[in-house]
Amino acid sequence: MIFKIGKNELRNLFYSPVAWFLAIAFTIQSAVFYTKALYGSAKWQDLLFRNNPKFRDFGPTSLTSHVFLNPDGIFANALQNLYLFVPLLSMGLISREINNGTIKLLYSSPVKVRQIVLGKYLSVMIYNLLLMMIMGIFMVTGAFNIRSVDYGLLLAASLGFYLLICAYSAIGLFMSSLTIYQIVSAIGSFVIIFILSRIGGLWQKIDFVRDLTWFLSMSGRTNKMLRGLVTTNDIIYFLVIIYMFLAFTLLRLKGARESRPWYLKTGRYLAVIVSALLVGYVCSRPVFTLYWDMTAGHDNTIHPRTQQIVKELGNEPLEVTLYTNILGTGVIKGLPESRNQYLSEVWDPYLRFKPDIQFHYAYYYDYDSSIDDGALRRMLPNKTTRQMAEQMADGYDEKLSLFQSPETMRKKVTLLPENLRLVMQLKYKGRTTFLRTFDDNVFWPLEQQTAAAFKRLLQARLPKILFITGDLERNIYKKGEREYNFHSVAIENRFSLINLGFDADTISLDNRNIPSGITALVLADPKTALSSAAQVKIEQYLDNGGNMLILGEPGKQYVLNPLLHRLGIQLMDGTLIEPSKDEMPHMIRPYVTSVGSDLAEEKAFLDMKKSGDSLKILMPGTAGIAYDTHGPYNINPLLMTVGQQTWLKAGRLVTDSAPPVFSPQEGDIRGSFPTAVALTRQVNHRQQRIVICSDADFMSNLRSGGGFFSRALYSWMDEGKFPIYTPKPDARDNKLSITCAGVETLKVASIWILPGLMLLLGSILLIRRKRK
């Protein structure tokens, strides 16, 4: 009986112009956005193929995602406009029966109300499949237009599209049962969809209600499936919404025929709501959630290395506490109303593999003028810390009682070294580590920082880098241009050593001995000669097989050469020159050698190997390095200058005058010079690793701490344990198999011919129906 009613309702749909109009409009919309996205990529591919013989594909860009899922893609626009189609389709499902009086015939026939509701909903589901078939036309076309198209991504996105349109249909069916006026039914559907799209932002400050409204929110429910990740949480959500509104429809039709007290009828609706929320809430818990990453490259899944680290955590509890200072940086993302968004953005990928992570929240207020740039004081002058907190709490519409006082919080945890900003503390088996937020567009930690924090909890001995002080070396605690704060201990830099898993500190060798077990010792550009005690300690450290990074500068070769002589290394006298139309002559751009590109899995190195192009590093003022190949160390250059473009300028170099001229008579030497070398040897059954650089400025704060190359150096000296590299494979669907001219033909066929055929078919069917 359900199928008979569904068949009859489907016939009625196609015997009306509305269904045909919506199908044709949907086809044109899909065709426009598909060909628009495809045309831009095809045009650029044709241009690059004509002019660049090295061009092979679009590299890491997934064309499946670009054409179908970007903001101008077919799926994004279909979902954005879907709420306009469904109410027009469903507005007359039941209201038409009531208005025409045919609902009485249905009631008097041997048909149950349940069969009527399910039969009519079945017809809409079949029509939704028609819309899916229209989308399928373009997905099949995409399979021919895009090389190695990501089928899993398209199937997951299609599932999300179908579930959403079916949920909209259930809402429309219910609204159709409330009124005899179809336009009122359509408007009511718009209102319900709007409410469900916005309810996730309501009452987020109330703990229990927060989770319920967040679960009910329809906004963003298809986002994971559009990215290729299917979860039982999202599927159950749509099924719950469909169940709830179909049950409402059933209760509405039954209630119209029954004479029962209002509280019994209301109780039925409440029972449906409670059962739906209960099922949804329980099934949304991480422990009950299943995941299926359908993308070809598992783009939504954490890297296998991170998975292994999470697996090593075992079943022991991992506690995460988010500390929010109402007077600190990032407070808006740590307030109670942002809690679900925080869990979703930061922790969902890890809850998939460890669903028993325990989350805690601590709110406080504290202020210290030493870490403030003065903006807060200027905004709230002449206020105490508590008074400032009161004003900020009022601004954020929060109660000050939610926030603990500075005295109370300082007894629990020391957050001043974290600049009193929004930060997470991880606790596992009595060990703790901080996971920080950053002042960039991402804000939250990425997988590399999170994996490093997890691994620190598992290790009894943490990797430690010690920077030597006492002879005016570069300082890791100063933020001046020449200093080393940015790449070492800057908490606001997500790629600093302390955010990649390392500990970093300083040591004065005149007062302390070098501790055993450190990862590496750094000697960065001492301005004065090392004391005999310091040199002896360094030599003993090297003799025992310790790793070390030594950086010098031209003009101060005499400071380091006595130490380097034992290693078979010398910094050559003079300064390297590389004339350029853009840079000063002492700005050298050596290229990374093949040995240098093997230091670590930095993305820049991986891209260099794939493209076959050279990768250069800017070194502002550097000397050449000479080394003895017959010494105890295996020595390999990491950075080399280009032979015909550089020379070693003897004597004093003046950079703010006329460009220097190559002069062999003055001792200038033209050639290719190493500016960074790696030394290795076997000591005590392990490989000793030393790096010598003839420039220290390239790792300074002014040069962003040396970027990927400095990270690679520390990774190599730590034998690849830290940082945790999580590279993603390049997309395979990165090349089109259609030209720009082919897209033009496809545009005509899909925008004009296909809708024209549908219009012709619908017109013939409707005319024949009218004649009958």
From residue 446, give the alpha-carbon distance in Å to each of 132, 227, 355, 426, 451: 36, 18, 19, 15, 9
Q: How far apart are CA 504 and CA 497, in angstroms?
A: 7
- Tokens coding 155: 């199937």
The answer to whether residue 595 scores a pLDDT higher than 70 is: yes
Contact 196, 221 (CB under 8 A): no
Q: How far apart are CA 292 and CA 605, in angstroms?
A: 31
Q: Which residue in 163, 158, 124 sits closest to 138, CA to CA?
A: 158
For the chain, report the end-to-end CA distance as a whole number of angstroms: 26
Tens of pLDDT along 681-719? 999 889 999 999 999 999 999 988 889 999 999 999 999
- Give the least confident one: 48-52, 437-441, 751-755: 48-52
Q: Which residue in 249, 140, 126, 264 sits closest to 185, CA to CA?
A: 249
From residue 53, give the alpha-carbon distance in Å to each of 46, 313, 373, 612: 12, 50, 52, 13
Q: Which residue in 168, 122, 162 sits closest to 10, CA to CA?
A: 122
Contact 89, 166 (CB under 8 A): no
The answer to whether residue 538 scores a pLDDT higher than 90 is: yes
Q: How far apart are CA 200 and CA 215, in angstroms?
A: 7
Q: How far apart are CA 331 and CA 337, in angstroms?
A: 11
The answer to whether residue 221 scores a pLDDT higher than 90 is: no
Phi first, then psi, for residue 720 (nearest 5°) are 80, 10
Q: How far apart are CA 650 and CA 158, in angstroms?
A: 68
pLDDT of residue 53: 67
The answer to whether residue 523 scores a pLDDT higher than 80 is: yes
DSSP string covering 82-134: HHHHHHHHHTTTTHHHHHHTHHHHHHHTT--HHHHHHHHHHHHHHHHHHHHHH
Q: Which residue in 236, 245, 241, 210 sits closest to 117, CA to CA?
A: 245
pLDDT band at 529, cuts 50/70/90?
A: very high
Contact 527, 559 (CB under 8 A): yes
Q: What sign has the CA pseudo-torsion 225, 294, 355, 726?
A: negative
Contact 412, 363 (CB under 8 A): no
DSSP string covering 580-610: -SSS-TTEE-PEEPHHHHTSS--HHHHHHHH
Q: How far apart are CA 752 and CA 738, in angstroms?
A: 20
> What DSSP state is assigned to residue 572?
P
- Amino acid code (one letter) for 98: I
Q: How far apart are CA 63 and CA 44, in angstroms?
A: 13
- The percent of residues in the chain predicted with pLDDT above 70, rounded, is 97
Q: How far apart are CA 675 and CA 482, in angstroms?
A: 19
Of 502 and 113, more confident: 502
- Amino acid code (one letter) for 190: F
pLDDT band at 54, cuts 50/70/90?
A: low
Q: How far apart are CA 77 and CA 36, in angstroms?
A: 12
Q: Which residue in 100, 74, 254, 273 sits closest to 154, CA to CA?
A: 74
pLDDT of residue 94: 78
pLDDT band at 605, cuts 50/70/90?
A: confident
Q: How far apart are CA 557 and CA 630, in angstroms?
A: 22
- Give the least confident one: 369-378, 507-516, 560-569, 689-698: 369-378
- The predicted model gives 223-229 an average pLDDT of 91
pLDDT of residue 497: 95
Contact 78, 30 (CB under 8 A): yes
Q: How far apart are CA 205 and CA 335, in angstroms?
A: 8
Partner residues linked to 768 by β-bridges:
none
H-helix or E-strand spanning residue 481: none
Tens of pLDDT along 420-458? 999 999 999 999 999 999 988 999 999 999 999 999 999
Q: How far apart are CA 261 and CA 202, in angstroms?
A: 32
Tens of pLDDT along 660-672? 888 888 888 888 9
User: Do strands 431-436 and 423-428 pair parallel, antiparallel, or not at all (unpaired)?
Assistant: antiparallel
pLDDT band at 27, cuts 50/70/90?
A: very high
Query: In which order are the strands placed within the sheet that holds 423-428?
Result: 358-364, 319-325, 423-428, 431-436
**pTM attached to this predicted model:** 0.88
H-helix or E-strand spanning residue 531: none
- Amino acid code (one letter) for 446: L
Please identify which residue in the block is written with the tokens 């009452």.
203
Packing angle, helices 232-257 and 262-283, rounded to 10:
170
Tens of pLDDT along 262-318? 778 888 889 998 998 888 888 888 888 899 999 998 999 999 999 999 999 999 999
- Tokens coding 81: 């406009």
- The predicted model gives 168-180 an average pLDDT of 87
Partner residues linked to 398 by β-bridges:
none
Contact 502, 717 (CB under 8 A): no
- Tokens coding 523: 């000697």
Cβ of 382: how many Cβ atoms within 10 Å? 6
- Tokens coding 433: 């580590």
pLDDT band at 110, cuts 50/70/90?
A: confident
- The percent of residues in the chain predicted with pLDDT above 90, rounded, is 53
pLDDT of residue 104: 66
The answer to whether residue 108 scores a pLDDT higher than 70 is: no
pLDDT band at 656, cuts 50/70/90?
A: low
- The CA R_g of the chain, rounded to the nearest whole Å, is 34
H-helix or E-strand spanning residue 627: strand 625-627
Q: What sign has the CA pseudo-torsion 475, 477, 483, 486?
A: positive
User: Do strands 503-508 and 464-469 pair parallel, antiparallel, or not at all (unpaired)?
Assistant: parallel
- Tokens coding 125: 């589901």
Tens of pLDDT along 315-366? 999 999 999 999 999 999 999 988 888 999 999 999 999 999 999 999 999 9
pLDDT of residue 713: 95
CA angle 69, 73, 78 (to 5 degrees): 95
> C-alpha dihedral over 183, 189, 190, 195, to 10 degrees?
150
Query: In which order are the strands placed within the sheet that holds 464-469?
Result: 503-508, 464-469, 520-524, 548-551, 686-693, 674-683, 634-640, 591-592
Partner residues linked to 364 by β-bridges:
325, 404
The answer to whether residue 630 scores a pLDDT higher than 70 is: yes
Q: How far apart are CA 83 and CA 333, in angstroms?
A: 30
Q: Which residue in 626, 620, 625, 627 sits closest to 578, CA to CA?
A: 620
The answer to whether residue 412 scores a pLDDT higher than 70 is: yes
- The predicted model gives 551-555 an average pLDDT of 93
Q: How far apart are CA 455 and CA 724, in angstroms?
A: 9
- Tokens coding 272: 């449906």
Q: Which residue in 169, 293, 161, 164 sits closest to 238, CA to CA?
A: 164
Please identify which residue in the block is written with the tokens 């953005």.
345
pLDDT of residue 107: 64
Give the rounded distance of the alpha carbon of 535 from its chain centre.
46
From residue 265, give the alpha-carbon distance in Å to each of 171, 195, 260, 262, 301: 19, 23, 7, 5, 46
Strand ranges in 195-347 using DSSP code E only, listed in sequence order: 229-231, 291-293, 319-325
> What DSSP state is assigned to residue 736?
B
Contact 153, 294 (CB under 8 A): yes
Partner residues linked to 240 by β-bridges:
none
- Give the least confident one: 66-70, 77-81, 232-236, 449-453: 77-81
Q: How far apart are CA 180 and CA 93, in angstroms?
A: 10
The answer to whether residue 753 scores a pLDDT higher than 70 is: yes
Q: How far apart are CA 388 and CA 382, in angstroms?
A: 9
606-645 burial, b at 16+ Cβ within 10 Å, e below that, comes to: eebeeeeeebebebbbbbbbebeeeeebebbbbbbbbeee
- Tokens coding 242: 């469909």
